[in-house]
């Protein structure tokens, strides 16, 4: 897991260390409803460690004997400047690029943790739990109108759009920075739309963001 390095779409490395991965849960109302979860009043945050990150184009190796592993496709935001108690304008200038990620989730484990009122790390923070795509410079996209999709074996499974987020990207990043600092190389995952489900061996996943990024991976 330690050989992960941020890269741009053209293959050149992003010369920033891999930091923490900050995630938001239930940022799309329809996704919250599909899992019978209440829509939160404020951003629901959790963190994946750097050891969760892997390159999304490599085969996905699923944990064994831990129950169902669900895919959750998310817009990933790469942070390029330190942020603490940031304003919205400061948060926007700190965005270096956008990519796509899979927030892999041990759903059976998570369900048990939720029933007990325990944190989710056992279900969300395992090695390989955050496949990340290369990044595209933020100038190539409009933050308030980014569209992304996931197909599995040629069938559309998830469609996301930043216009549908309960907490839009820039205010979300500013909010996170009031709770703990964001550093260059950190990644923010901005929530998954409806359509999540279990992964199966042999499946091919195709992820696309607008017309600027397309990646594929296979479950092994």
Give 76-132 pLDDT, tens digit per residue. Answer: 999 999 999 999 999 999 999 999 999 999 999 999 999 999 999 999 999 999 999
* Tokens read off for 112: 């048990």
Burial of residue 190 (number of CB atoms within 10 Å: 0-12, 13-18, 19+): buried
Task: Provide block-wise average pLDDT over 10 residues at a time, the chain (220 residues).
Answer: 87 96 91 71 93 97 95 98 98 98 97 94 96 98 96 97 95 97 98 96 98 97
| Residues 76/99, Cβ–Cβ less than 8 Å | yes
* Tokens read off for 61: 């190796």
| Residues 63/69, Cβ–Cβ less than 8 Å | yes
Partners of 213 in the β-ladder: 209
Q: What is the pLDDT of residue 130?
A: 98
Q: What is the pLDDT of residue 1?
A: 44
Nearest to 28 by CA among 18, 40, 16, 17: 40
Q: Please name each of the domains of the chain with its CATH number.
A: 21-218 (3.90.850.10)
Calculate the alpha carbon distances from 32 to 86, 179, 191, 203 in Å. 28, 23, 10, 25
4: Cβ contacts below 8 Å, ≥ 6 apart: 18, 50, 53, 54, 55, 132
């Amino acid at each position: 897991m330690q050989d992960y390095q941020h890269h741009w779409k053209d293959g050149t490395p992003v010369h920033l260390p891999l930091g923490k991965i900050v995630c938001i849960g239930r940022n799309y109302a329809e996704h919250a409803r599909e899992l019978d979860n209440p829509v939160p009043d404020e951003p629901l945050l959790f963190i994946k460690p750097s050891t969760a990150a892997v390159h999304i184009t490599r085969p996905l190796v699923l944990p064994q004997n831990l129950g169902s592993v669900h895919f959750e496709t998310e817009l990933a935001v790469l942070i390029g400047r330190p942020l603490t108690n940031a304003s919205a304008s400061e948060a926007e200038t700190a965005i270096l690029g956008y990519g796509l990620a899979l927030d892999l989730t041990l759903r059976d484990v998570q369900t048990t943790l939720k029933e007990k009122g325990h944190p989710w790390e056992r279900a969300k923070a395992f090695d390989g739990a955050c496949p990340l795509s290369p990044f595209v410079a933020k100038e190539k996209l409009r933050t308030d109108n980014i569209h992304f999709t996931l197909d599995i074996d040629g069938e559309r499974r998830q469609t996301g759009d930043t216009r549908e987020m309960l907490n839009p990207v820039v205010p979300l990043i500013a909010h996170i920075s009031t709770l703990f600092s964001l550093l260059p190389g950190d990644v923010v995952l901005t929530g998954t739309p409806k359509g999540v489900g279990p992964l199966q061996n042999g499946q091919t996943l195709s992820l696309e963001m607008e017309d600027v990024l397309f990646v594929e991976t296979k479950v092994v």
